[in-house]
Amino acid sequence: MKKWACYISVFILLSGFSVAHKFYVSIYQLHFAPEKKMLQITTRIFIDDLNNTLEKHFKVKAHLCDKAETPQDVERMKTYLAEKFIVKIAGRQKEITYLSKEVEGNVLICYFRITGVTKPDKIDIYNPALMELNDTQQNIIQYSGSGEKQSLLLTIDSPSGTLKP
């Protein structure tokens, strides 16, 4: 049942519809690139949910992905995600480097990386992002690398999980 929820959520996010949405979901895709010794991370988050969460968290109006966006908006987003999205490999928290962002419909796509990664045997993820705004928020974690695929569904009741590639 969880897999179906994941697939439906992925379809909804990737469809890029621009009407108000009723689903509170974001996707975090992790891809292990052994030749680069890197974990590449792509996030897909509804822009309105992120702006509303940033406003609540920082108590300042957020304007990500609109004409009024400022460098401070981007910095707040990076700070917030650094606090809420934590990756540990073999029990050690890893530094996540922000690379860039782009917009696809009403979804913000962000690119990150973790360098110096050899084949991970255990990846612990903590990700309560956006859950302070909506307790039905679901964060889907998808992992791929070396021919393996796994996924986690994180919720307010279970904001962390472990991948064992």
Q: Tokens for 163, please give them.
A: 């991948």
Say what the pTM is.
0.86
Indicate whether 18 belongs to any domain: no
* Max intra-chain CA distance, the chain: 43
DSSP assignment of 9-65 equals HHHHHHHT--SPPS--EEEEEEEEEGGGTEEEEEEEEEHHHHHHHHHHHHSS---TT
Band of pLDDT at residue 4, cut at 50, 70 and 90:
very low
Q: Which residues of 57-93 are buried (b: 16+ CB within 10 A; e: fewer)?
A: beeeebebbeeeeeeebeebbeebbeebbbbbbeeee
Band of pLDDT at residue 17, cut at 50, 70 and 90:
very low
Question: What's the total number of domains in the chain?
Answer: 1
How many percent of the chain have pLDDT more than 70? 87
Q: Check residue 11 and give its pLDDT.
A: 47
Indicate whether 90 belongs to any domain: yes
Indicate whether 97 belongs to any domain: yes
Indicate whether 30 belongs to any domain: no
pLDDT of residue 48 exceeding 50, the answer is yes
Show the domain range for 50. 44-142
What are the pLDDT digits (tens) for 94-146?
999 999 999 999 999 999 999 999 988 999 999 999 999 999 999 999 999 97
Indicate whether 7 belongs to any domain: no
What are the pLDDT digits (tens) for 140-151?
999 999 788 999
- CA–CA dist 159, 133 (Å, integer): 14
Per the document, the length of the chain is 165
Indicate whether 121 belongs to any domain: yes
Indicate whether 32 belongs to any domain: no
